[in-house]
């Protein structure tokens, strides 16, 4: 199937999933049930940034479904394809919001799920100063834990902030990758839709630090493209849903680098089968340049290890 | 009476009105005097290849003359006329190519003509298996030039450049016996076969035309382009300006018009000569302002950024500004009307080629053996003519547009290197372009080429077609007068990506190019052949499988017919905005617009409305994408 059709298929799947879950939630909790992410002043940040509207109840989310539908126009052109990617992002946010509506703590350790405003504000300064040179979103499943650890540790040692989504979380744990906000490795969740919590970080950066008004979607996309140095590594077989979410990332200006064979788009969607080269390929694609002073020492050395706690057993 | 609008270009419109008001004759007036064109000629139904004629065939079946005196049917007559148009077009491009090969053959280390791009020469030498180790570069050049010159008349074998096509295309040609032999032989064969009492099989005559046309695209034109690059440099992106607003009120304005860069390159040098600049000061001018017209303009703008004065339909209007000291011409597409017209002004009309003398013009023969000196003498004439300018008559329109030009295949590759990830790919290939097409970010590519024709509102066909294509994420490459129309309309400015669809606009932004790429003169359409061949090889398909189309919205010359034919024969569907003189034969129309597809995988389409043509081209592109199943697999470089 061609790339754009894959995206549209994924976007429709995401839409159907969002509609189904929302319907179930309304049946269970009633249409006026409250909807909110914890510890944020930006409601459902993606929908807020895109439309300027705050979502308060499940009923509001029904309206947001209309936004998703309006973004899916299956024409064989890049613009509607990118819009369909954004549609998937909105669907994912609806799905994640419903999770929080149905359950007070849908995410448990090690997964972080939704990231609070306070954390985003604390990340703001190191992002601006370049202390955090980039944001890596590692998604899917690597061929083995060692590979996953190698890629993640590479980002960690360069000071990047890395978000994990999917089975790669287990692989990282298995390979003893140390995680936590202070270590700059944050597992988000096992479902693909949990990737939305990092999109939410980028969008809130635009709202908070960029001062861009809610509802001005094009300006938000311009800000994320120019100011949030993020990229996506998608490992393992790619479902239509993941490809469609990837289009959303590309719409925000974030390149997608995968180990799978896909129709490549220069600088935006690349296939890198050599895992040793994934980090370098990704950094180059996102235009992230890191000044490195290598110190020959036998342990990892980076700002990412600053908050590390050495426990008794270690 | 309703005022006829000549052009979408305000400068042209303004000057055409001025001519009208002052009673000065232009091509539009002469077109008007022609009244309704002869229906027999228009449909290709008249023949005058022998003295038994002229014969003409009735366009109505079963009524009036159905055969010529020799018995030739309408189909045969039209096929012969068409084949001769192809032969003439092929001959012009080929003679152009031959001249440039001769110039390389005479190139000397201390001569006027030198080798500028050694790398391109060495690549060609390797391609043609010329020994390069431990040899003087000029010895290599002379051997390569000799091989090229032999391509015109070699007794055996097929054209060397045909080997550049993808294997699939070569076997299509092989299977259909279209592999061209010596260039001149193919032209001579057509003239032979179209003589009275020779070939009387319409289908076979079209086949001969297809075969001869390859001697143009993959022969004469390709030799012209390759050797011009070797001698004068491979074009790289550079800024320029276009339209008659480039003429300067206080400078000596010289326009070079015609085709061959061997003359115009020397004119560029001569116009920078300190002695001549001093002379210009002495006659009261601030300097020498060289600008170009038609394909000569394309050659010098691609390599030096020389400003583009205008395209075919503007050649007379340039004189009407009253500010041109000299129009210096060589060969092809030079209106003889310039001779009487320039008499109304101080403008000197100088012919330079023994191949194109024009009654009423000043002939100053350009001698290639002492090229620079020759050029200087011509420029001197122009400078000395400055004092004859009648300032009361001067009217220079203010309008001109910014353009970025110089997109040779090599330059396109180097632009594409900007988006190559060094961890993944080597630079210097078209892979990023192939990727963009395969993924669907760009839907396809269109070559828009050709002339101006007073049957079409000037530049309307070109500009509207290009706008519609880029809006739909189809990247446009262009040459010739079509390219100049685009430059004047601002489509070659990087800003023009705003007019493109999001996919193409994104690519333009990343690669830092305008959405419409100027690839040069009419012989430089061979660059497009090289480009599509490399693209086809990357995608491992035939040229006819690519989502690629061609168009000549305002064509007029026999060269355009030859070009259109070799483009179709190379596997690219081609849209014509002007109906060719073949409509008197259903058989010929059927071959050209239908059956050709079974033979070479492409055909002609005739659609005078550029918006409709664009839609058809886009549909065709989508059909080809569908057939290819594009984007199911990644491109492997």
**According to the 3-state scheme, what is the secondary structure of B234-287?**
CCCCEEEEECHHHCCCCCEEEEEECCCHHHHHHHHHHHCCHHHHHHHHHCCCCC
pLDDT at B333 over 80: yes
pTM for the model stands at 0.93
- B443/A77 CB distance under 8 A: yes
Q: What percent of chain B has pLDDT over 70?
A: 98
Instruction: Detail the DSSP E strand segments found in B46-204.
Output: 46-47, 55-56
List residues of chain A with CB under 8 Å from any CB of chain B: 1-4, 76-79, 81-82, 261-267, 269-272, 277, 280-281, 284-285
- 8 A C-beta contact, residue B218 and residue B529: yes
Site of tokens 């980002």: A155
pLDDT, position A22: 96
pLDDT tens-digit readout, B612-627 = 999 999 999 999 999 9
- B423/A281 CB distance under 8 A: yes
What's the burial of A205, exposed, middle or buried (CB within 10 Å: 0-12/13-18/19+)?
Answer: buried
- A270/B421 CB distance under 8 A: yes
Nearest residue in chain B measured CA to CA from A277: B423
pLDDT, position A313: 78
**DSSP one-letter string for B587-637:** HHHHIIIIIHHHHHS--EEE-S-HHHHHHHHHHHHHHHHHHHTTTSS----
- A78/B635 CB distance under 8 A: no
Structure token digits, residue A132: 């955090």
β-pair type (B548-552, B307-310): unpaired
- A263/B440 CB distance under 8 A: yes
pLDDT, position B2: 52
Q: Is residue A197 helix, strand or coil? A: helix
pLDDT, position B630: 67
Instruction: Detail the DSSP E strand segments found in chain A.
Output: 135-140, 161-165, 185-189, 230-235, 256-258, 269-271
Sheet strand arrangement including B474-479: B516-520, B474-479, B444-448, B548-552, B573-576, B604-606
Query: Most distant CA pair in chain B: distance in Å?
Result: 74
Query: In degrees, to the nearest 5, what angle opens at C-alpha B242 toward C-alphas B236 and B243?
Result: 160
Nearest residue in chain B measured CA to CA from A279: B423
Among the partner-chain residues A81, A261, A264, the one whose CB lies closest to the CB of B435 is A264
pLDDT, position B443: 96
H or E, element range at B462: helix B460-471
The average pLDDT across B14-19 equals 92
- A78/B438 CB distance under 8 A: no
- A78/B501 CB distance under 8 A: yes
Q: How far, in Å, CA of A288 to CA of A279, rounded? A: 11
Q: How far, in Å, CA of B61 to CA of B31, rounded? A: 30
Residue A243 to chain B, least CA–CA distance (Å):
13
The average pLDDT across B428-448 equals 96
pLDDT at B634 over 70: no
pLDDT, position B635: 42
Question: Higher pLDDT residue, B52 or A300?
Answer: B52
For an interface test with B, give the residue of A84, A265, A288 to mutate (most B CBs within 10 A). Answer: A265
Say which residues have a Cβ less than 8 Å from residue B131's Cβ, sequence separation at least 6.
B140
- 8 A C-beta contact, residue B525 and residue B563: yes
The average pLDDT across B7-33 equals 93
**Cis omega (within 30 of 0) on the bond before A110?**
yes
Chain pair A-B, CB pairs under 8 angstroms: 85
Nearest residue in chain A measured CA to CA from B637: A264
Q: Place B102 in a pLDDT band, splitting at 50, 70 and 90.
A: very high
Please list every residue in chain A whose beta carbon sits closer than 8 Å to the beta carbon of residue B419. 266-267
Burial B401-438 (b: 16+ CB within 10 A, else e): bebbbbbbbbbbbebbbebbbebbbeeebbbbbbbbbb
Nearest residue in chain B measured CA to CA from A4: B440
List residues of chain B with CB under 8 Å from any CB of chain A: 416, 419-424, 432, 435-436, 438-441, 443, 472-473, 501-503, 506, 510, 622, 625, 629-635
**CA neighbor of A283 nearest in space, from B419, B417, B423, B432:** B423
Q: Place B387 in a pLDDT band, splitting at 50, 70 and 90.
A: very high
Please list every residue in chain B whose beta carbon sits closer than 8 Å to the beta carbon of residue A78. 440-441, 473, 501-503, 506
- 8 A C-beta contact, residue A243 and residue B631: no
Please list every residue in chain B whose beta carbon sits closer than 8 Å to the beta carbon of residue A269. 439
Site of tokens 């990229």: A231
Residue B416 to chain A, least CA–CA distance (Å):
9
- A265/B436 CB distance under 8 A: yes
Among the partner-chain residues B421, B423, B439, the one whose CB lies closest to the CB of A263 is B439
Among the partner-chain residues A2, A266, A270, the one whose CB lies closest to the CB of B436 is A266
Say which residues have a Cβ less than 8 Å from residue A313's Cβ, sequence separation at least 6.
none
Rg (CA), chain A: 19
For an interface test with A, give the residue of B499, B504, B618, B631 to mutate (most A CBs within 10 A). Answer: B631
The average pLDDT across B137-161 equals 98
Residue B105 to chain A, least CA–CA distance (Å):
42
**CA neighbor of B472 nearest in space, from B490, B449, B446, B491:** B446
pLDDT at B281 over 70: yes
pLDDT tens-digit readout, B185-232 = 999 999 999 999 999 999 999 999 999 999 999 999 999 999 999 999
- 8 A C-beta contact, residue B356 and residue B260: no
- B432/A266 CB distance under 8 A: yes
pLDDT tens-digit readout, B62-71 = 899 999 999 9
Q: Place B636 in a pLDDT band, splitting at 50, 70 and 90.
A: very low
- A264/B439 CB distance under 8 A: yes
What's the burial of B36, exposed, middle or buried (CB within 10 Å: 0-12/13-18/19+)?
Answer: exposed
Among the partner-chain residues A82, A265, A280, the one whose CB lies closest to the CB of B423 is A280
- A271/B634 CB distance under 8 A: yes
Q: Place B632 in a pLDDT band, splitting at 50, 70 and 90.
A: very low
The number of C-alpha atoms within 13 Å of B304 and in the hemisphere containing its C-beta is 20
Residue B535 to chain A, least CA–CA distance (Å):
15
What's the burial of A232, exposed, middle or buried (CB within 10 Å: 0-12/13-18/19+)?
Answer: buried
β-pair type (B401-405, B238-242): antiparallel
Residue A184 to chain B, least CA–CA distance (Å):
25
pLDDT, position A308: 74
Say which residues have a Cβ less than 8 Å from residue A137's Cβ, sequence separation at least 6.
A162, A163, A165, A195, A198, A230, A231, A232, A233, A249, A254
Residue A117 to chain B, least CA–CA distance (Å):
33
- 8 A C-beta contact, residue B309 and residue B318: yes
DSSP for residue A193: G
Q: Place B268 in a pLDDT band, splitting at 50, 70 and 90.
A: very high
Average pLDDT, chain B: 96
Nearest residue in chain A measured CA to CA from B510: A267
Cβ atoms within 10 Å, residue A15: 22
pLDDT, position A94: 97
pLDDT, position B629: 81
H or E, element range at B210: helix B202-215
- 8 A C-beta contact, residue B280 and residue B252: yes
Say which residues have a Cβ less than 8 Å from residue A104's Cβ, sequence separation at least 6.
none
**Tens-digit pLDDT string for chain A (314 aa):** 589 999 999 999 999 999 999 999 999 999 999 999 999 999 999 999 999 999 999 999 999 999 999 999 999 999 999 999 999 999 999 999 999 999 989 999 899 999 999 999 999 889 878 889 999 999 999 999 999 999 999 999 999 999 999 999 999 999 999 999 999 999 999 999 999 999 999 999 999 999 999 999 999 999 999 999 999 999 999 999 999 999 999 999 999 999 999 999 999 999 999 999 999 999 999 999 886 666 677 777 677 777 777 787 77
The average pLDDT across B382-411 equals 96
- B435/A263 CB distance under 8 A: yes
**Cis omega (within 30 of 0) on the bond before B54?**
yes
Please list every residue in chain A whose beta carbon sits closer than 8 Å to the beta carbon of residue B420. 266
Q: How far, in Å, CA of B368 to CA of B17, rounded? A: 40
């Amino acid at each position: 199937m061609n790339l754009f059709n894959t995206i549209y298929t994924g976007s429709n799947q995401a839409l159907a999933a969002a509609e189904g879950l929302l319907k179930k939630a309304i049946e269970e909790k009633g249409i006026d049930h409250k909807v909110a992410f914890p510890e944020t002043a930006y409601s459902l940040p993606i929908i807020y940034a895109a439309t300027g509207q705050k979502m308060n109840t499940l009923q509001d989310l029904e309206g947001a479904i209309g936004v998703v539908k309006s973004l899916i126009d299956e024409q064989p052109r890049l613009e509607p394809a990118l819009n369909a990617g954004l549609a998937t992002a909105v669907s994912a946010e609806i799905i994640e919001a419903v999770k929080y509506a149905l359950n007070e703590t849908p995410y448990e350790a090690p997964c972080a799920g939704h990231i609070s405003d306070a954390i985003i504000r604390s990340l703001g300064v190191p992002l601006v100063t370049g202390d955090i040179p980039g944001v890596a979103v590692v998604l899917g499943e690597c061929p083995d834990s060692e590979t996953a650890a190698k890629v993640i540790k590479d980002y960690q040692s360069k000071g990047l902030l890395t978000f994990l989504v999917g089975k790669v979380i287990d692989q990282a744990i298995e390979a003893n990758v140390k995680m936590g906000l202070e270590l700059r490795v944050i597992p988000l969740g096992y479902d693909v839709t949990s990737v939305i919590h990092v999109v939410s970080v980028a969008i809130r950066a635009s709202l908070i630090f960029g001062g861009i008004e809610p509802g001005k979607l094009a300006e938000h996309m311009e800000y994320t493209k120019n100011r949030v140095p993020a990229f996506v590594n998608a490992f393992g077989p790619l479902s239509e849903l993941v490809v469609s979410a990837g289009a959303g990332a590309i719409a925000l200006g974030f390149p997608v680098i995968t180990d799978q064979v896909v129709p490549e788009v220069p600088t935006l969607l690349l296939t890198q089968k050599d895992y040793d080269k994934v980090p370098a390929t990704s950094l180059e694609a996102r235009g992230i340049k890191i000044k490195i002073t290598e110190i020959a020492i036998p342990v990892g050395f980076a700002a990412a290890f600053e908050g590390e706690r050495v426990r008794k057993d270690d | 009476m309703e005022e006829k609008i000549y052009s979408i270009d305000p400068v042209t419109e303004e000057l055409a009105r001025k001519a009208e008001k002052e009673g000065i004759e232009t091509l539009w007036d002469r077109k008007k005097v022609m009244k309704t064109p002869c229906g027999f000629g228009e449909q290709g139904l008249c023949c005058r290849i022998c003295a038994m004629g002229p014969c003409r065939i009735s366009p109505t079946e079963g009524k009036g003359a159905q055969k010529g005196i020799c018995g030739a049917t309408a189909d045969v007559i039209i096929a012969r006329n068409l084949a001769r148009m192809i032969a003439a077009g092929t001959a012009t491009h080929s003679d152009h190519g031959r001249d440039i090969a001769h110039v390389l053959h005479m190139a000397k280390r201390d001569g006027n003509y030198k080798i500028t791009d050694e790398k391109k020469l060495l690549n060609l030498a390797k391609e043609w298996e010329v020994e390069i180790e431990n040899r003087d570069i000029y010895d290599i050049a002379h051997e390569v030039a000799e091989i090229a010159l032999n391509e015109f008349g070699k007794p055996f074998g097929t054209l060397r450049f045909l080997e550049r096509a993808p294997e699939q295309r070569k076997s299509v040609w092989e299977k259909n016996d279209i592999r061209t032999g010596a260039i001149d032989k193919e032209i001579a064969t057509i003239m032979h076969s179209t003589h009275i009492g020779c070939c009387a099989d319409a289908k076979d005559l079209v086949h001969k035309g297809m075969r001869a046309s390859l001697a143009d695209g993959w022969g004469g034109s390709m030799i012209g382009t390759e050797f011009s690059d070797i001698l004068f440099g491979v074009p790289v992106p550079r800024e320029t300006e276009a339209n008659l607003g480039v003429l300067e009120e206080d400078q000596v304005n010289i326009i070079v018009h015609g085709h061959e860069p061997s003359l115009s390159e020397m004119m560029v040098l001569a116009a920078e000569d300190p002695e001549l600049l001093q002379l210009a000061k002495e006659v009261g001018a601030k300097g020498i302002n060289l600008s170009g017209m038609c394909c000569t303009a394309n050659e010098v703008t691609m390599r030096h950024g020389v400003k583009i004065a205008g395209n075919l339909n503007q050649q007379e209007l340039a004189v009407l500004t009253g500010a041109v000291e000299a129009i210096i011409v060589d060969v092809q597409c030079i209106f003889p009307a310039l001779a009487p017209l320039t008499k109304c002004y101080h403008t000197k009309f100088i012919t330079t080629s023994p191949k194109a003398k024009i009654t009423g013009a000043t002939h100053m023969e350009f001698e290639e053996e002492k090229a620079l000196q020759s050029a200087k003498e011509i420029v001197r004439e122009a400078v000395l003519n400055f004092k004859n300018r009648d300032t009361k008559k001067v009217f220079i329109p203010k309008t001109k547009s910014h353009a970025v030009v110089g997109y040779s295949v090599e330059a396109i590759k180097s632009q594409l290197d900007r988006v190559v990830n060094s961890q993944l790919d080597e630079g210097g290939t078209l892979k990023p372009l192939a990727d963009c097409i395969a993924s669907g970010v760009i839907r396809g590519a269109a070559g828009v080429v050709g002339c101006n024709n007073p049957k079409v509102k000037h530049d309307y066909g070109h500009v509207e077609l290009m706008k519609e294509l880029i809006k739909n994420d189809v990247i446009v490459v262009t040459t010739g007068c079509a390219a100049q129309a685009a430059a004047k309309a601002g489509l070659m400015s990087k800003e023009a990506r705003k007019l493109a669809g999001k996919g193409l606009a994104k690519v333009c932004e990343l690669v830092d190019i305008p959405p419409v790429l100027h690839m040069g003169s009419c012989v430089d359409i061979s660059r497009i052949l090289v480009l599509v061949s490399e693209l086809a090889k990357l995608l491992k398909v035939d040229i006819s499988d690519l989502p690629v189309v061609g168009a000549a919205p305002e064509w007029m010359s026999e060269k355009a017919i030859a070009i259109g034919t070799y483009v179709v024969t190379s596997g690219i569907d081609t849209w014509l905005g002007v109906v060719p003189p073949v409509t008197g034969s259903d058989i010929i129309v059927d071959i050209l617009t239908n059956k050709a597809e079974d033979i070479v995988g492409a055909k002609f389409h005739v659609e005078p409305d550029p918006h409709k043509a664009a839609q058809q081209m886009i549909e065709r592109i989508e059909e080809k994408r569908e057939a290819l199943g594009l984007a199911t697999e990644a491109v492997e470089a």
